[in-house]
Amino acid sequence: MERRAYYRNGTLPWLLIAPQLILVLVFFYWPTSQALYWAFTLEQPWGGGNSWVGLSNFLSIFGDGRYWATVGRSAFYAIAATGISMVIALTLAMFADRALKGTKLFQSVFVWPYAIAAPAAGVAFRFIFAPEAGIIGSINEMWPGIWNPATNGGHALAMVIVCHAWLGIGYNFIFFLAALQMLPRSLTEAGAMDGARPFQRMIDLQLPLIAPTVFFLLIMNLISSFTDSFGLIDVMTEGGPINSTEVMVYKLYVDGFKGLDYSGAAAQSIVLMLLVIALTFVQFRWVEKRVHYN
């Protein structure tokens, strides 16, 4: 039973959707078209317009070992941040779902981190992980040099990943909790009658049944760690030390706005965009088709 409203006036509907349309055009399609233009052209050395260079911008970034290093780093970052965030969120959601004391409170408390802007969280985590102060400071006093994200690339990357994961927990938690609460309680009760302990029930019964949600969150988290990591890295490490936290999105910013290599940066952003589009495509094709149990 579909009821449609028809407009007799031809311009009114266009006026009504104009604000949204203008937003999308100005902030998405126009920059994208500019990026495409830059990616396939090169600005002449002394100005005077761009000349068409075909795929040579892409060939040069693909031929660059440092670019592939950022790709690898991005992949590691994405997998680690997604993994940590989802596992912790799932654990918390499991506890909240088991209706332990204070569940109502936790349901809202766990979501709050999601409302914190990445740069703000980045500043906070910089303080938390500062080698010279706080609990880490006293650990460093006992074992000098055991933790210093300012000089150790591994430490710096770990710090950013932990912060990124922490920021995502609230979002993941809400989805996991909603999915778990959609499962009829009698299913876990049947599992309990069948003799399965809580952890086994989680593995055998709950996880397979919330698989669509797990998959959805997996994709969303991966996408977010490819794109949203920029704010965090810019505030916390600026890609350093020695590029050890330079992921794809940060390298394209540095190359474009610091190195003024617009064409190279545009090519990188096209690659990143294709990656995100591919992930979104997988999400739509796979998740939408997955069996939903009723």
Partner 1 sequence: MTAITLSSVKKRYQKTDVVHGVDVEIESGEFVVILGPSGCGKSTLLRMIAGLEEITSGTIAIGDTVVNNLEPRERGCAMVFQNYALYPHMSVAQNIGYALKVAGMPRAERDAKVLKVAKSVSLEPYLDRKPGELSGGQRQRVAMARAMVREPKVFLFDEPFSNLDAKLRVAMRAEVRSLHRGLGVTSVFVTHDQTEAMTLADRLIIMNAGVVEQVGKPSEVYNRPASLFVADFIGSPAMNLVRGFFADDGYFRHGKGGMIHLPTIAPNLLSKEVSVGVRPENVRRVPAGTKGAINAVVDYIEELGASRLIYADVDGSRIVAVDSANDALGTGMPVHFAFDTADLHVFSNDDGRRLDIATGLAATAALINA
Binding residues for partner 1, per CB under 8 A?
184, 186-187, 189-197, 200, 204-205, 208-209, 293-294
The CB-of-193 to partner 1 minimum distance in angstroms stands at: 5
**H or E segment at 129?**
none
Minimum distance, C-beta of residue 96 to partner 1, in the bound complex (Å) = 20
CB 58, CB 141: distance < 8 Å: no
Q: Return the half-sphere exposure (C-beta side, CA atoms, 13 A cut-off) of residue 224.
A: 24
How far apart are CB 98 and partner 1 at their closest, in Å? 13
- Cα angle for residues 91, 96, 99 (degrees, 5° grid): 135
What is the identity of the amino acid at 255?
D
- Are the CB atoms for 70 and 246 separated by under 8 Å? yes
Q: Which of residues 258 and 290 has its CB atom nearest to partner 1 in the complex? A: 290
Q: Give how far Cα 235 sits from Cα of 51, 74, 120, 259, Å.
A: 36, 17, 9, 19
In the complex with partner 1, the residue whose CB is nearer, 64 or 204, is 204
Q: Is the dihedral of CA 184, 190, 93, 289 positive or negative?
A: negative
- With respect to partner 1, which residue has the nearer C-beta, 190 or 260? 190
CB of 182 to partner 1, least distance (A): 12
20 vs 294 by CB, closer to partner 1: 294
Minimum CB separation of residue 27 from partner 1 in Å reads: 42
Residue number, 139 or 203, with CB nearest to partner 1: 203
3-class SS of residue 252: helix
The nearer residue to partner 1, 108 or 200, going by C-beta atoms, is: 200
Give the chain's largest Cα–Cα span: 78
Question: By C-beta, is 64 or 194 nearer to partner 1?
Answer: 194
CB of 196 to partner 1, least distance (A): 5
Judge residue 187's burial from the number of C-beta atoms within 10 Å of its C-beta, 0-12 exposed, 13-18 middle, 19 or more buried: middle
DSSP single-letter state for residue 114: G
CB of 205 to partner 1, least distance (A): 6
Q: Give 147-156's long-range contacts (Cβ < 8 A, gap of 24+).
A: 149/237, 149/241, 150/241, 151/241, 152/241, 153/241, 153/242, 153/244, 153/245, 154/244, 156/236, 156/237, 156/240, 156/241, 156/244, 156/245
